[in-house]
Chain A
Amino acid sequence: MPFISRLSSLWRNLTHRDRVDRELDAELRATFDLLVDERVRAGADPREARRAARLDLGGVESVKEKVRDARAGALAETVLQDVRWGLRLLRRNPLYALAVFGTLALCFAANTALFTIIRNVVLRPLAIPEADRVVLVYNSYPQPGILHAGAAVPDYFDRLRAVASLDEQALFDRFNPTVNVHGVPERTHAMRVTPSFFRVIRVRPREGRTFTDEEGEVAHRQVVVLSNLIARQLFGDTAVLGRDVTIDGELHRVVGVMPPEFVFIDAGVELWVPAAFTEQQKQMSQRHANNWTFIGRLRSGATLQHAQAQIDALNAANFERFPMFTPLIGTSFHSVALPLQDDLVREVRKPLYLLWAGAAFVLLIGCVNVASLVFARSQARVKELAMRAALGAGRWRLIRQLVTEHLVLSVAAAAAGLVIGVGALRAFGTLDLEHLRPGMDIQVDRTVAAYTIAMAVVAGIVIAAVPALAARRMELAAAFREGRMGSGGSGARTLRRVLIVVQVAATLVLLIGAGLLLASFRRVVGVDPGFNPAGVLTASITLPTARYSDAAALRKVTDDLVRAVRAQPGVHAAGTTTAIPFGNDFSTRLIFAVGYQMRPGEAPIGPYRNVITPGYFEAIGVRLIRGRFFDDRDDSNVPRVAIVDATLARRFWPNADPVGRQMFLPTNPRNPAEMSPTSPQLTVVGVVGEVKLRGLVEGVGDVGAYYFPHAQAPERTLTIAARAGGDPSSLAPSIRKAIASVDRELAVFDVQTMKDRADRSLGSRRSAVTVASAFGAVAMMLSAFGIYGVLACLVAQRTREIGIRMAIGGSRRSVFGLIAREGALLVACGIAVGAIGTLAIARTLQSQLFGVAWTDPIVLALACAALVGAALAACALPAFHATRINPIVALTE
């Protein structure tokens, strides 16, 4: 039949349901009359004829039901009917509806929230056209531990020539220029990009254009593309194109504005300027400088493997072309091509998936509870179901009704869960994940909605399966006689027991997971950061080249700044650094110790490089192990000095005093480890304790760190650290004032206490712990309710039996034991299954732990104890009720 006609008849059936029904009624009545007539004419007694006709016709209701089923749209019609019926039943049992709805809504909310994060962070980290075709290529030097370096300018020009599988290629680099916003210097996030960048990402500007290739040449007039946000901030609603913006003191002409929803890697980026490479930057010596990020878009038909192969061939050819780099072979140098999206989510994927699994477990436990509840209530409804079956409802029809009823509840709960989950995300932020910066819009798209709906449908069917299975086996006669179905049947009871075991097992896994994360977090918090964060305020600045062109100027302004800050009342000590602990700016550079013999196969190391002023160590409270801190003696007029941390000292001078020893910086690209007369040499004047630069867990890896005095190696991006006597945050205004007194044009950013920095560095771990603990607590509560429900039901069913036991002399104690034993057995089975489940996720979990083994006996014991405690409490109540059964009442009922 044509689709349209089927549709129209469906519509007719739905809209004229009553008319169709009445007509069917009339038709069957007419048939009945005809049958009677037939028999009367054949000579039968009218009453006898009517009886026979009724038999002939069969159950009128059953015929009607079959006709309805046969009609097009029968399904839709019965569904509507079921929905209406289901809603009516729920209205009559608001408490039941609320319990089911509430449990499901909360479980759905947790799942939806996590899926939304995963969808936004892991599944779609890049919102650009065909994002999966964009690859990142980075240089890697496994031997010295530099796994993920960037790319160098010559790499770009080589690859333009030799890597045909990439359609478009681009380099970009992030920087933080100061922009004049209505007279106030503001530090911004920006990207320097080759003009090809916009062709790789394939995003068009909202207005204007992106860069022409000529604008990527040196000495071209300076242009900029703005984000929608900063364009509005700078120019309001007036025309933007052709206007000038002062970036780091230089005028840039605006040529384009990106669309408001455009985000590439970092939502905070506000400007893009063209990268122009000087001849010097393209030179051979720049190879392996790796201060750019290389991306490319795969040509249609080309695969990642093609690109990787071409890059490998190029690298091999380059070793031939430039023999001076052959020592790099010893570092296992190679270039890695991988989808940019994979690189972006590398770190966050695993913890998110673990939390998602936790949410799924909570949902499972919630569903088990709801199924249990539904089952208990379907026993109360057995008479209604039996009645409908007797009146001609098919078994499938009954099952379908049960499923529909619960789908209604489940879908309603899913809608609520979607609202709650996404609302909670919006309200409480995004679990402090690095890739979800504040301001990033959490998008709820069709996929998220589809996920929630799919979850609801599956949950609804699973929940309804319990009473439906029981209904399938329902014996009508028995149902009428006893007023309950299947409940006495061992099958149904076994099912409920299995559900409890599953629930306890899932809860145990969650509790162990949460417990381990908590224990791990306590270890992390307990790590000695190597300095004293309390009482320290930090503030960052960048000294623009325009005003501070040379080393002398940098030295002077830094001196002035430190002096001005120290002069503020309440400041006990102050200094600057290029790499503040728990910050974002770190650099690692090769350094060598004079006289240090590398073992065969050992590669040069690139420890963390810090440039600090005297007073910095005192300000943040670093421990001096040997020698001395920097002081005013260490200026540009004396030979260079350095301080090393304990980790680096152990590596270079394992059995000797490092103080007085020499180090040098590489100058010979052919052989960096070779000291030449021009190599800068440094005398070690002190050894300090290891400062956990990157964070409490990451620290400084196993390569350590070294420190140079600022006067001997001036830098532009500095963080000032000041130690206060009291609350450091109260220092903020006076420090801003001190900086402004030196240079009003300086943009001060990241003004925050060291404590806040430390806290924030723990943010994503802390939220993982919080979320996991919440899941564990909810799971434990739900399980306790589940166990209670099953045992209470058991007591109710066995009231008569217990009454008899007590009547013939059973003690209360033995009755208590009877019920409690049942519960304890279930819990024990659940724990055994849960242990197996824990084994299954142990490896994934372990990768998220710090300083704790997943087999940690204390955590395992506590998790079991908590679970057993809650479960026993849940067992005890119904067992106690059982002992209160009055035998006389139980037996006469």
Chain B
Amino acid sequence: MAHRAALLQGTLDLLILKALAAGELHGLGVSRRIAQITQGTFVVQPGSLFPALHRLEEAGWLESSWQRSENNRRAKYYSLTKAGRKQLGEETAQWNRIAVAIGRALGA
């Protein structure tokens, strides 16, 4: 937890979309996957996670369904919609542009 960083504005949405790119997950699973793919840099609290999930669902980028979890509990699973996939592509490209630009700026 030493490296927990503040989330940049808008990064959370991108991370959630990315986390779900590999397949559907429940809310807690999304949180765990984000911690995993960022190697623990970002740990998303429920107070931020659930509002974001619902917002993305309302935006039409995620859809949800109730399923049995691996240890047989009912949980709400989220998955990317077609629009969500497209959004992930766009946000990734944009993020990369920004990252490159900032990297250059800082390296200059």
Interface on A for B, CB 8 Å cutoff?
1, 5-6, 9, 23-24, 26-28, 30-31, 33-35, 37-38, 41, 56-58, 62-63, 66-67, 69-72
Contacts and interface: CB of A to CB of B under 8 A. Distances in A.
Contacts of A41: 71
Contacts of A1: 58-60
B74 interface: yes
Contact of A70 (B45, B46, B55): B55
Given A26-B76, A31-B26, A9 B51 contact: no
A63 B48 CA distance: 8
Contacts of B26: 30-31, 34
Nearest to A58: B47
Contacts of B76: 23, 26-27, 30
B50 A63 contact: yes
Contacts of A56: 46
Interface in B1-53: 26-28, 45-47, 50-52
A58 B51 contact: no
Given A9-B58, A66-B51, A30 B46 contact: no
Contacts of B73: 30, 33-34, 37
Smallest CB-CB A-B distances: 7 pairs? A70-B51, A70-B55, A66-B51, A27-B76, A30-B75, A72-B58, A34-B28
A187 to B, nearest CB: 72
A35 B46 CA distance: 11
Given A30-B73, A34-B69, A67 B54 contact: yes
Interface of B: 26-28, 45-47, 50-52, 54-55, 58-60, 69, 71, 73-76
B46 A58 contact: yes
A56 B49 CA distance: 12
Contacts of A26: 74, 76
Mostly, the B contact residues are helix
Contact of A34 (B52, B55, B59, B75): B75
B28 A31 contact: yes
Given A9-B58, A62-B47, A70-B55, A27 B28 contact: no
B51 A5 contact: no
B69 to A, nearest CB: 7
A28 B54 CA distance: 12
Contacts of A62: 47
A41 B70 CA distance: 13
A37 B71 contact: yes
Nearest to A37: B71
A429 to B, nearest CB: 56
Residue in A33, A58, A67 whose Cβ sees the most chain B Cβ within 10 Å: A67
A26 to B, nearest CB: 7
Contacts of A63: 46-47, 50-51
Contacts of A5: 60
A30 B66 CA distance: 10
A57 to B, nearest CB: 5
Contacts of A38: 28
Given A34-B28, A35-B28, A58-B46, 14 more contacts: A1-B60, A26-B76, A28-B50, A30-B26, A30-B73, A37-B71, A37-B73, A63-B50, A63-B51, A66-B50, A67-B50, A67-B54, A70-B52, A70-B58
A67 B50 CA distance: 6
Contacts of B71: 37, 41
Contacts of A58: 45-47
Contacts of A69: 51
A861 B6 CA distance: 67
B47 A66 contact: yes
B46 to A, nearest CB: 5
B50 A27 contact: yes
A836 B47 CA distance: 54
B44 to A, nearest CB: 12
A522 B12 CA distance: 76
B15 to A, nearest CB: 16
A673 B65 CA distance: 103
A57 B69 CA distance: 19
Contacts of B45: 58
A605 B96 CA distance: 89
A72 B75 CA distance: 23
A201 B50 CA distance: 64
